[in-house]
Amino acid sequence: MEATAQIEDRKLIQQAYRQLLRSIKSPLDATDQKNIRRSYEIAVEAHSKQRRKSGEPYILHPIEVARICAEEIGLGPTAIVAALLHDTVEDTDVTLEDIQEQFGDKITHLVDGLTKLKSDYNPDTAQAENFKKVLSTLVSDVRVVLIKMADRLHNMRTLGSMPKHKQLRIAAETSYIYAPLAHRLGLYNLKTEFQDLCMKVTDREEYRAIADKLQETKESRNQYIDAFIAPLRTKLDQLHAPYRIHGRPKSISSIANKIRKKKVPFEEIYDLFAVRIIVDVAPEQEKPLCWQVYSIVTDVHTPIPERLKDWITTPKSNGYESLHTTVIGPGGQYVEVQIRSERMDEIAERGFAAHWKYKGLTNQQDLYDSWLDGIRELLSEGDKNPKEFINDFKTNLFSEEVFVYTPKGDMKILPKGATALDFAFSIHTDIGQRCTAVKVNNKLVPMGYKLENGDQVSVTTSRNQKPNENWLKMVVTSRAKTKIKASINEEKRKSGQLGKEALERKLRQLKLDFESNVDAIVKHYGFKNRIDLYYAIYQSRVSLLDLKQLEVSNGHLVFESAKPIQQAPRSTKKGKSPKAPISINGEPGDQFKYLFANCCKPVLGDEIFAFVGANGVKIHRTACPNAQHLMSSYGYRTLEADWISENASHFVVELNINGVDDGPGVIERVTSEISTKLGLNIRSFSIKGDEGYFEGKISLIVSNTNQMNQAILALKNLDGISNVTRTE
């Protein structure tokens, strides 16, 4: 039996390797072929005794990561070799020296960037430390991040074999960092799949409901697309240029977002698909031909002018180029049409990798350079803790942007929501730090004014101006925040020197060593670093007289400090307590000090997880708006939680209701349906109407999600009610 299993494993591995070789599109010389074969052999040998959680041979994972790099991202042989070896140094006896000897500097650098740091440091910053390490290689070789994206994509595709709480943790981290990073690097396919796979884990019911409805409407949707495209083909053929035209459905996660934002049911989402027209012409002909296609589309179907988005004249900051417009198709249905060239389409599909392939073929500026400069600046802040770094990095992953201009007409691209002060820092650090006034379109505005597309901005400066703490509230870009913090810290450092000298004198009086005690004092008073402590002493916010009251042991001041959170706090209740409806990490919940979180109000039947905080354990829904941040930043504090009893106490759930305001009859119908027909208690009910439309919020006491869903369905069926949703 064992021999048969080994033969089957070998067949699977060889089949996966052949598929990888077929996926490589770039030409391979003799050295490339040799390196790919050798890296494959080393990886097979190194991982020979390892298996994935699913039970399959572990080597299938690096082979599939390499295939994704080649086929779905478009990377070349060097990245394929690094992808095959990406787990060897971390998980096997292979060392970086071995790889250096076999493959040289480039591949060693990539593999080193992909190797996680050892986990013998603070677990609170472990995730951030490892991600910071990967990103530190971004500015020198972006392939490390692209291979990491492929690695994460395969892990997400095969997440089913992991325990539920680990699935949630990995999905949260993916949604928090990897999906926005994929967008920023122009990898739209990866971004969309990341978001869908995350939703499949965190909100399975909604994911399945939308997937089922898309399947049900697939045939009628395809018929509609054919009817929409048919009259276009006749005119497009007259251009005598090669083109492709097809319809593609929107992703499940984007449809879910529309349902939440617009507060309408699936049936009322009009743009479930987009029609894409792709022309195959030389770069110099792309722009005029795309506009010709736009003219044909708007001749055949009625356009909605305000829905035109021109990312051909002004590409997005991640290199994305396309013309988007919305037209009214047959039956009065709105249809989004995307028009682009084959080159633009490849950049949209493969992002950064394709961008470099076409670099220099167009006259556009290098759209990644300024972004990479921003990452270099973040990395140069050596004293920044890993979590601050990740938070600042995340602000660089903006998906929406504004285009503004200097007085000379130079364009600047900033994230949506950026302010006049952000603009000043984007021009130059000195201009930002010395900014005293800003004019937008020749009108004086506050420094916190939010910029809009097309604004022309001029900045007035003064040598006497210096940033202060309030400035941090007026900016959103990481560049501005970093520079403001650096300036404030420099001022603190200068003033704090006097505070430091006072502390040194006090410790000398107590006959204590400065270096042996200063960090404990910083921690005791709750400061982030020494500079903040010195500055507080300088400002007399900390009294050094308190140090005299403390005990001394072996030359160290003794502080009473709380122990770090290592495990979930246990319940201290004595006597018999009612059986909890949940289990935490497989143990009865009444053994823990737990509460249901107010931010998401879980109800029996919801998918849940536990989070260990300073004051106990909170039970959250997996679809909680705070879940992504909690699990991606504090993954080690999340625990598995499950419902184990149907005899739970009652739960409070809030519903949003909107519809046609036809007077007091609405209130009577709603309360009668809930209280009289369904027998549910109403905890609170508020409603307001305006110009024939009303919005209401009703708080109900239910036993489980079945009762909640029954209430939602019953309310939706009432006359005058347009939509009912659970409050997020």
The pLDDT tens digits for 252-268 are 999 988 888 877 778 77
The pLDDT, as a whole number, for residue 649 is 67
- Express as a percent the part of the chain with pLDDT over 90: 29
The sheet that has 587-588: what strands, in order across it? Answer: 587-588, 582-584, 638-643, 608-613, 616-621, 594-596
Q: How far apart (Å, rounded) are the C-alpha atoms in residues 319 and 652?
A: 47
Tokens for 370, please give them: 């300024």
Mean pLDDT to the nearest integer, 237-259: 90
Residue 568 pLDDT greater than 70, yes or no: no
More confident residue, 151 or 413: 151
Residue 372 pLDDT greater than 50, yes or no: yes
Hunting for tokens 């549910």 — which residue is that?
680
pLDDT band at 288 (very low <50, low <70, confident <90, very high): very high
Tokens for 507, please give them: 């410790």
- Closest among 304, 426, 311, 295 to 371, alpha carbons compared: 426
Mean pLDDT to the nearest integer, 472-483: 87
Strand 594-596 to 323-328 pairing = unpaired
How does pLDDT run across 423-446, given as a tens digit for each residue?
Answer: 999 898 899 999 999 999 999 999
- Domains (ranges, CATH) in the chain? 2-157 (1.10.3210.10), 208-357 (3.30.460.10), 651-726 (3.30.70.260)
Helical pair 126-136 and 369-380, crossing angle rounded to 10 deg: 130
C-alpha dihedral, 226 to 231 to 237 to 241, nearest 10°: -70
Choice among 9, 56, 71, 91 that is catalytic: 91
Q: How far apart (Å, rounded) are the C-alpha atoms in residues 687 and 721?
A: 13
Catalytic status, residue 501 = no
Q: How far apart (Å, rounded) are the C-alpha atoms in residues 132 and 551?
A: 40
Residue 353 pLDDT greater than 50, yes or no: yes
Q: How far apart (Å, rounded) are the C-alpha atoms in residues 599 and 620?
A: 8
Q: Output the average pLDDT for the chain.
A: 84
CA-to-CA dists, residue 50 to 43, 57, 59, 319, 477, angstroms: 11, 6, 8, 40, 44
The pLDDT, as a whole number, for residue 385 is 66
Q: How far apart (Å, rounded) are the C-alpha atoms in residues 98 and 111?
A: 11
Q: How far apart (Å, rounded) are the C-alpha atoms in residues 279 and 293?
A: 9
The pLDDT, as a whole number, for residue 560 is 62
Q: How far apart (Å, rounded) are the C-alpha atoms in residues 248 and 524?
A: 58
Lowest-confidence segment of 223-232, 492-501, 574-583 by average pLDDT = 574-583
What is residue 92's DSSP assignment?
S
Q: How far apart (Å, rounded) are the C-alpha atoms in residues 344 and 338?
A: 11
Lowest-confidence segment of 203-212, 230-239, 367-376 by average pLDDT = 367-376
- Express as a percent the part of the chain with pLDDT over 70: 89
Q: How far apart (Å, rounded) are the C-alpha atoms in residues 513 and 518?
A: 9
Q: Give 3-state DSSP helix, strand, coil % of the chain, rounded to 5.
A: 50, 20, 30
Residue 564 pLDDT greater than 50, yes or no: no
| CB contact at 8 A, 154 and 161 | no
Instruction: Indicate the helix (H) or strand (E) that contains 701.
Output: strand 693-702
CA-to-CA dists, residue 479 to 184, 429, 430, 449, angstroms: 16, 9, 12, 17
Residue 347 pLDDT greater than 60, yes or no: yes
Choice among 8, 41, 90, 546 that is catalytic: 90
The pLDDT, as a whole number, for residue 127 is 67
Lowest-confidence segment of 25-34, 190-199, 686-695 by average pLDDT = 686-695
How does pLDDT run across 490-546, given as a tens digit for each residue?
Answer: 887 788 888 888 888 888 888 888 888 888 888 888 787 888 888 888 877 877 777
Lowest-confidence segment of 14-18, 460-464, 563-567, 628-632 by average pLDDT = 563-567
Residue 86 pLDDT greater than 70, yes or no: yes
Highest mean pLDDT among 38-42, 214-218, 561-565, 587-591: 38-42
Residue 637: which region, alpha, beta or left (left: phi > 0; alpha: psi -120 to 50)?
A: alpha
Residue 133 carries which side chain, given as an amino acid letter? Answer: K
Helical pair 60-67 and 143-157, crossing angle rounded to 10 deg: 120
Mean pLDDT to the nearest integer, 285-299: 94
Q: How far apart (Å, rounded) are the C-alpha atoms in residues 295 and 306?
A: 15
Catalytic status, residue 101 = no
Strand 693-702 to 681-690 pairing = antiparallel
Burial (Cβ within 10 Å: 0-12, 13-18, ≥19) of residue 274 = middle
More confident residue, 304 or 367: 304
How does pLDDT run across 124-149, given as a tens digit for each residue?
Answer: 566 677 777 777 777 777 888 889 99
The DSSP code sequence of 298-347 is HHHSEE-GGG-EETTTS--TTS---EEEEEE-GGG-EEEEEEEEHHHHHH
The pLDDT, as a whole number, for residue 514 is 86
